[in-house]
Structures are given as C-alpha cells and as structure tokens.
Amino acid sequence: METDIDVLMPRIEPYLDLFDGVLRRGHAVYESYPPSIAIDHDASAQAHCTYRHILKEALLALGALPDVEHMDIRGQNVWLFKNENIVVRIKKTDENGASSNYPTPQALAFDEGEELPGLPAAPTRLTVGYLLDETGMGFKRSQVSLPTRRGALWCAAIIPADLRAAEDQSWQEVTKQTRFRL
C-alpha cells in the first residue's frame, strides 16, 4: 500500500475539485436549515445530517465516473478508484485529517488497512473530509488524509478552484509537525 503524499496526491488530483464541490454542496444544504430546526441539533446530529447530504452529492457526482465504483461495506460507504487502486471514504475530520467521531469497527478496519470484502488487494485508503471552523458551523476547508490507527499520517488541504490559478497545484500539505519525546 502506497503511503507517500507526493505519490498519492498527484494520482487523485484530477478528482480534488469534484471532492471539494461534493463536500461544500452537502454542507451548504445543512447550512440552509431554518435556525428553528438547527438549534436543536447537537454536534452529532449536525454531523449526521451533513453526512447524509454529502453522501447524496457523492453518489451523484462519483457515480457518473466510469472508473469509480461505490461500495457499501458493512454500512460504510466507500468509493474504489480502480485505475489508481485507491479507496476513499468521506468523513467529518479535524485539522489533522483524522475522523472526529467515535470509531466504529468498520472505521477501525478501514484505518488499519484490514481486508474489506469486495476490495482488491492492498488498495491505499484515503479519507476525504471536511473541516469546520471553531464555531463548529462554518465550512473551513476540504481535505484529504491518509488514516492510521493513531490519527492521520498526513493531511492535504484542497485549494478551491476559484482561489487558484489554472496552472497551480490544487492541494497543499497541512500536516502538523509533532514533537518527539525521548
């Protein structure tokens, strides 16, 4: 399984604007809820509702691509990018690209690279996620990360198409430096 950000991100770069649009449109639907409804949602309900809207967008957008196959593996929606041998899941993530909810057995299996029914041998698993601002309401950015059991190995922010020149790279690494203790 490939893990190098400088190898993987160029392989999925053609899809980054699509991912960004799916995440932004899905979140925008949640933001359009009347305040009288949204006020009763805790963070978990907000994330669930937002995910359902993002899932709908993803099924439409990614379902139209010939080399992409949607799979529901034990209740976890993933997309296999066949030509790239990459499997993607969509999640709400923190600034490091780690999933921010309680890990289900399916999520742990995905993060740990365990064999999942129906997937080819050793595809690279990536999380396409959205990061909210400090209030937990506003959309901050879309990002791609390589999940591990202890968080994300790396994280790359997707630079929206309207904020970059056509010839510019559509992603930027945003992995935080960690301090090692001796």
The residue ranges of every structural domain in the chain are 5-173
Confidence of residue 9 (pLDDT cuts 50, 70, 90): very high
For 56-70, 105-119, 122-136, 165-179, which range has the lowest pLDDT when averaged over its residues?
105-119
Dist. CA 50–CA 60, nearest whole Å: 16
Which single residue is written with the structure tokens 């593996």? Answer: 73
Contacts of 96 (CB under 8 A, 6+ apart): 145, 151, 152, 155, 175, 176
Query: What residue ranges in the chain does DSSP mark as E strands?
Result: 68-73, 76-81, 86-92, 124-132, 139-148, 151-158, 171-173
More confident residue, 157 or 104: 157
Residue 30: the pLDDT is 96
The mean per-residue pLDDT over the stretch 4-26 comes to 97
Q: Whats the size of the chain, residue-wise?
A: 182
Closest CA to 20 of 71, 52, 62: 62
Positive or negative torsion for Cα 101, 105, 111, 116: negative
Dist. CA 119–CA 136, nearest whole Å: 34
Structure tokens at 10: 């160029």
CB 119 within 8 A of CB 173: no
Question: pLDDT tens digits for 26-75?
Answer: 999 999 999 999 989 998 899 999 999 999 999 999 999 999 999 998 88
